[in-house]
Amino acid sequence: MSGPEGPAEPAPAEPAPAEREPAGPDARLPRVGVVVLTQGTREQDLARGIRSLLDQRGVVLDIVCVGNGWDPTGLPAGVKTLHLPENLGIPAGRNRGVRLVEGEYVFFLDDDASLAHPGFLRTAIGLIEADPGIGLVQPRVVDPSGTTAPRRWVPRIRKGDAAHSSNVFSVWEGAVLLPRAVFDATGGWADPFFYAHEGIELAWRVWDQGKRTWYAGELEANHPAIEPTRHSYYYRLNARNRVWLARRNLPAALVPLYVGSWTGVQILRWARRPQALRAWFGGWLEGWRSDPGERRPISWRTVWRMTAAGRPPVI
C-alpha cells in the first residue's frame, strides 16, 4: 500500500556477484596469483603440482596454467588457462601468465614441481610479513623419490646444510614467491633468455629494489633430480645468458669482471670436455654479438649491499 507521500522507493538492486567485495573469512586471507608453466609433456606431474596448489590452506588463489606451445585441457575447475601457440621460452611464458592473475603476492610453479605441505604458501607469506625486507622466497627443493638433491638447488657458494636459511643472490626458479609490487618493480622475468639464468637476474633486481632474496630452508618443494644438461641447448644458452645477464644488469665497469670470472670457472669445470666447451664458447660469442634486450643496470648501492651480504656480483 502506498503511503501519503506516494509510492515507496524501490530497494537498491543487489550487486552482481562479481562486483561484491569478498565476504566472510576469505576476505582476510592473503590473495596469491599463481602461474603454472607447462609444455603439456608431463601430464601426471602437472596434475600433482596443481593438486598441491588446490590443497593449500590459509590463502586465496587465482591460478592460471600457461601452455607454452600447448593448449591446456582437462584441468580442475577454477584453474584458468592460457594457450601460447608457440613455445616462447620459460621467462616469457611466465610473464604472459602473470598478466592474467591477481593478488598481493605472485607465485610461480613449474609443471614438474609440487608443494610438499598444504601450509606452504601461508608459511612463505608469513616470512615476508614478519620481515618486509624479504622480496622473494625460494624453498628448499627435495626429490620426493629420496634421490639426493643436487647441490645447485641450494643457491649459495658455500652450500652447507640445505635446511639452513640465508640471503641468496640467485634462485632455482621452479617455485618462487614474491609480493606482486616487488615483482612488477623488477620488470618481471627476462623474456629474451628463453632458458637459463633468469633466476639470477630476478634475484639481482629484487636486491635492486632495496629488498633481499631469501632461501627458506624450512620450506619444502618437490622436484625430480634431473640434470639440466639433458637439454641440447644447455651449454649454448648457459653461456649466452651469462653474457646477457652482465650486459643487461651490471654497471659497465663490472661487466668484464663478471663474464671473465665465469669464463675461468667454465674452462676449469669442463677442461676435459672439449665438446661442451666448444658449445659453451659458441654461446659466449653469441652473447656479445646479439641484442640482450633492455639494459637496466643495478645501482652501485645495490652492488655494495650484495657485497656486504656476502656475494659481490662479479663471481
Could you tell me if 219 and 237 lie in one domain? no
User: 21 in a domain, yes or no?
Assistant: no
Measure the CA–CA gap between 94 and 240, rounded to whole angstroms: 20
Measure the CA–CA gap between 267 and 39, rounded to whole angstroms: 33
Residues 6+ apart with CB under 8 A from 201: 189, 190, 193, 245, 248, 249
| pLDDT attached to residue 93 | 98
| pLDDT attached to residue 1 | 42
Could you tell me if 123 and 69 lie in one domain? yes
Could you tell me if 285 and 170 lie in one domain? no
| pLDDT attached to residue 315 | 84
257's enclosing H/E stretch is helix 255-269
User: 10 in a domain, yes or no?
Assistant: no
| pLDDT attached to residue 228 | 66
Instruction: Please return the burial class of 126, using the count of CB atoms within 10 Å of its CB with bins 0-12, 13-18 and 19+.
Output: middle
User: 315 in a domain, yes or no?
Assistant: no
CATH number where 45 lies: 3.90.550.10
| Mean pLDDT of the region 56-68 | 98
Each residue of 189-227: pLDDT tens digit? 999 999 999 999 999 999 999 999 999 999 999 999 877
- Domain extent at residue 221: 30-226
| Mean pLDDT of the region 11-21 | 38
Beta strands in the chain (DSSP E): 31-38, 60-68, 80-84, 105-110, 114-115, 134-142, 166-168, 175-179, 212-222
Could you tell me if 103 and 195 lie in one domain? yes
| Mean pLDDT of the region 248-267 | 97
Could you tell me if 241 and 176 lie in one domain? no
Confidence of residue 133 (pLDDT cuts 50, 70, 90): very high
Name the β-bridge partners of 60: 31
Boundary of a domain, candidates 226, 257, 282: 226
Could you tell me if 71 and 195 lie in one domain? yes
Measure the CA–CA gap between 72 and 76, rounded to whole angstroms: 11
Average pLDDT taken over every residue of the chain: 91
Measure the CA–CA gap between 170 and 204, rounded to whole angstroms: 7
User: 215 in a domain, yes or no?
Assistant: yes
Could you tell me if 208 and 144 lie in one domain? yes
Could you tell me if 115 and 42 lie in one domain? yes
User: 308 in a domain, yes or no?
Assistant: no
Kindly report the pTM of this predicted structure. Answer: 0.90
- In this structure, of 11-25, 187-201, 247-261, the range with the lowest mean pLDDT score is 11-25
Measure the CA–CA gap between 281 and 276, rounded to whole angstroms: 9
Cell of 171: 634462485
Could you tell me if 111 and 218 lie in one domain? yes
| pLDDT attached to residue 226 | 78
Name the domain count of the chain.
Answer: 2
Boundary of a domain, candidates 226, 250, 285: 226
Could you tell me if 185 and 109 lie in one domain? yes
User: 20 in a domain, yes or no?
Assistant: no
Could you tell me if 79 and 220 lie in one domain? yes
| pLDDT attached to residue 147 | 87
Boundary of a domain, candidates 176, 197, 226: 226
Would the pLDDT of 165 be above 70?
yes
User: 183 in a domain, yes or no?
Assistant: yes
Measure the CA–CA gap between 302 and 304, rounded to whole angstroms: 5
Each residue of 214-224: pLDDT tens digit? 999 999 999 99
Q: DSSP letters of 139-176? A: EEEE-TT-PPPPGGGS-SSS---TT--EEESS--TTEE
| Mean pLDDT of the region 57-80 | 97
Could you tell me if 236 and 140 lie in one domain? no
User: 140 in a domain, yes or no?
Assistant: yes
